[in-house]
Structure 1
Amino acid sequence: MDASQMASQLINWDLAASTAARLAPPGPALSPAEARDVVESLRRLADASVAHVHRITGLDVAADLRDSQLLIVDRASWAKANTQGFEVMMDPVLTHLVEKRASELTPTAAKVGGAITGAQLGLILAYLSSRVLGQYEPFSALAPGSTVPPAGRLLLVAPNIVHIERELVLEPEDFRLWVCLHEQTHRVQFAAAPWLRGHMTEQIGQLSESLVGNMDSLMERATAVAKSLRDRTGSASDLPSKGAILDLLQDPAERAAISHLTAVMSLLEGHANVVMDAIDASVVPTVKTIRQRFQQRNENRGPLETFIRRLLGLEAKMRQYTDGQKFVRHVVDAVGMAGFNRVWEGPENLPTEEEIHAPETWVSRMGL
């Protein structure tokens, strides 16, 4: 068995998908007719949202998104799509790991380890599958023989959208359009910057290879951090902070890669939020109610959910929304949307993490 074949067994992707499908909590009760109406509504509102994204962003690619796909999915299908994307991103890393640890790995060990890892990943995906409203997934299209359109696919998770609109007693058509505006913005971002997917894949690959190359020292550092946390109370507030996690990454290249990816994700999420916030009651009549109740929901999480979200890094993702939103608003206020759109011209125009927190430095660097 060669390195590539053994690498494919290090994570059992099929088991991850089936585990997520089995463990994902059931969605809201819908009759077949209601389910068809939800799918039809989401598809119609997703299409309608593109014109608003075009108007707000000024990105002409929003006029034609035929190289990507829009899918209305359930929780299991969302999890399956993510295992496909992860497999593409992780393949070079796992192959590199096999090559580095060839003397320590056997086909049997790889298969057993892959089953354990696949089950663990499935458990995580099961949790996330009931919380994600939508996602633009560009990576699975890169898999050999993939039937996914070249630019990827936008996934709208119907049961989760229905669950939230019922829980918060929201006007369904308004809430669905509001969600679609955010998610379609991500689709437009990757269309406006066709180099972005390759750039992110390269950065993730470089970081992962560096971590694999420094695996021994990384494990020693992780053990030291775990030991230092052993005597803490174990509450959610005692989880390692971003700073503590970065303490594990002592290699300057690793820190730089994490910083860059953090800045890119902050940019993408913040930009999508700014587009949502540009919508007023003339487009979404109950938009003020949606924002207020959605914010209250995010602020009133129980201790167990807070713990899990921090453990999975979801709290850090929420900070990306806020930090990126502040960056985009500052730049647009300073130089207009056309000036901000310079960010999509090439990787050299992406903001650094420092610039995310000091937007005027990005404006200055761009000569705006």
Structure 2
Amino acid sequence: MTGAAGDPDPSGGERSPLGGGVDWALAAKTGARLVRPGPAMTPYTRAAATEELAAAARFAEQPVREVTGLADGLPVPAAMVVDRAGWIDAAAASMGQLTAGLDGQGSRDGSPGIGGRVAGVQAGAVLAFLSTAILGQYDPFTGEHGTLLLVTPNVIAVERSLKVAPKDFRLWVCLHEVTHRVQFSSAPWLADYMKSAVDLLGEDTGEPLANMAGRLAAELNRRRRGEVEPGDGGLIGLVSAAQAEPQRNAIERLLMLGTLLEGHADHVMDAVGPAVVPTVTQIRSAFDARRRRTPSPLQRIMRALLGMDAKLAQYVRGKAFVDAVVGQVGMEQFNAVWTGPETLPRRAEIDEPARWVTRVLG
């Protein structure tokens, strides 16, 4: 059936112009309009910090490669040092590429449709919020060698808040983000692994809503009884519980991978040591205290909705896993983790690293 209300879909039904994917171009514009500019600084301070961050990203590559034993001989692309609006624009472009084909069809003329524009405004508001917290980010899905982003106003805001040496803090941040680039450069399969999990999350299972609601109710009861494993709290755990099994597996894959990547990056930041970052102990102590700081009620709500508390748990659990395995078998044998999907740590192994060592290394 066809008509003015919509275009036909492959099943013979009608596609509504209200549907469609997220309008990521509108999301970028909305986010840039809503975002706060960041801490006050002179043009000289901004330019000097931008130049120093770019240089720190280049410098960080060598100690990261030495500590990890990864990416030897691979190119060292320049970092993109941006303001908050620049991060929003890059993030929206990346999300558009990552989710291409997953959001349904657009309107008759190929645009996202009214629903896509509404979703774009909502996504833009989320990006505006996130852009105030991101210090840096490695995006494996854009550019020939991925894109390393560093957000100048956020780095300056945090270093001022922590009262740490700016030069050391900027290098410390770069060590973390460069480690992510080294991870993906050394294991090119990681990007496809992530993309396949995202693709699976976007599939329509056709499952009755009542089934999903039943699983969600059961999970809420588990949480009321305190039967929730570490790192499973917040909205991410609830979303996972409501999904069909293939989607739950995809969320599990992404969570376990994120825990490994973030924990490994935190381990490398500290392993580089005071020879490269003289005040690393002070920075780590101040930064961890900042992570533990109790947020305001609004921040708590936003953190729960965006899964930020789960991400903080990833740093802690992931670093403990990497610290334990490297301490037991050394970095060279630990690097077996980057062999393929089958060597990634499983849920139980994150908190019991010896089980991963036994399974993977024998």
TM-score range for the pair, normalised by the shorter chain length:
0.7 to 0.9
Change beyond 3 A, Cα 1:339–1:71:
same
Q: Tell me how far 1:302 sits from its aligned partner.
A: 2.4
Identity of matched residues, %: 40
Q: Taking structure 1 as reference, are residues 215 and 164 closer, same or farther at Cα in structure 2, changes over 3 Å only?
A: farther
Matched with 1:292 is 285
Q: Give the root-mean-square deviation of aligned CA atoms.
A: 3.0
CA contact (8 A) 1:281 1:287 kept: yes
Runs (4+) of structure 1 exceeding 4 A deviation are 1-9, 105-110, 222-226, 239-243
- Deviation of 1:224 (Å): 6.7
**Structure 1 gap segments, 5+ residues each:** 142-147, 233-238
Question: Residue by residue, what CA displacement relative to the aligned partner does 1:66-99 show, whole Å, maximum 9, x if unpaired?
Answer: 4x551001111111111111112211212xx34x
The answer (yes or no) to whether the contact 1:260–1:353 under 8 Å persists in 2 is no
The equivalent of 1:138 in structure 2 is 140
TM-score for both structures, normalised by structure 2: 0.85
Report what 1:145 is aligned to.
Answer: none
Count of residues paired in the alignment? 339
Q: For 1:156, what is the secondary structure of its paired residue?
A: strand
The aligned amino acid for 2:284 is: R
Q: Distance in 2 between matches of 1:218 and 1:288?
A: 52
SS at match of 2:202: helix
- Alignment partner, residue 64 of structure 1: 74
Equivalent residue, structure 1, for 2:272: 279
Answer whether contact 2:35 2:131 (CA < 8 A) is retained. yes
* Residue in 2 that maps onto 1:118: 120
Provide the residue aligned with 2:91 in structure 1.
82
1:51–1:63 CA contact under 8 A, matched in 2: no
Q: Deviations over 1:13-48 (max 9, x none)?
A: 111001111111111222222222111111111111
Structure 1 residue 305 and structure 2 residue 299: aligned? yes
Counterparts of 1:7-26 in structure 2 under 5 Å? 9-26=20-37
CA contact (8 A) 2:267 2:319 kept: yes
Partner in structure 1 of residue 4 of structure 2:
none
CA contact (8 A) 1:65 1:188 kept: no
Find the aligned partners of 1:21 and 1:138 in 2 and give their Cα distance. 23
Q: Is the 8 A contact 2:24 2:96 kept in 1?
A: yes
Distance 1:180 1:248, change over 3 A: same
Q: Which amino acid aligns with 1:308?
A: M
Which of 35, 40, 48 is the equivalent residue of 1:37? 48
Provide the rounded CA distance (Å) in 1 between the counterparts of 2:175 and 2:167.
12
Structure 1 residues 2, 53: closer, same or farther in 2, change over 3 A?
A: farther
Tell me which residue corresponds to 2:205.
213
* Cα displacement (A) at 1:245: 3.2
8 Å CA contact retained: 2:216, 2:241:
no
Give the whole-Å Cα distance in 1 for the aligned partners of 2:8 and 2:310.
38
Partner Cα distance (1:279, 1:270) in 2: 14
Q: With structure 1 as the length reference, what TM-score do the two structures score?
A: 0.84
Alignment of 1:44-63 (within 5 A): 44-59=55-70, 61-63=71-73
> Which residue of structure 1 lines up, in the alignment, with residue 130 of structure 2?
128
2:259 and 2:43 mapped to 1: Cα distance? 39
Q: Distance in 2 between matches of 1:186 and 1:80?
A: 21
Instruction: Rate the CA distance shift 1:253–1:171 in 2: closer, same or farther, 3 A.
Output: same
Work out which of the residue numbers 259, 262, 265 in structure 2 matches 1:269: 262
Q: Of Structure 1 and Structure 2, which has the larger fraction of its residues in helix? A: 1
Evaluate the alpha carbon distance shift between residue 303 and residue 364 of structure 1 in structure 2; reply closer, same or farther with a 3 A threshold: same
Q: Which amino acid aligns with 1:349?
A: T
One-letter amino acid of the structure 1 residue matched with residue 205 of structure 2: G
Secondary structure at 2:145 match in 1: coil
Deviations 1:320-354 (A, max 9, x none): 11111111111111211011101112222212222
Contact 1:46 1:181 survives alignment (8 Å) = yes
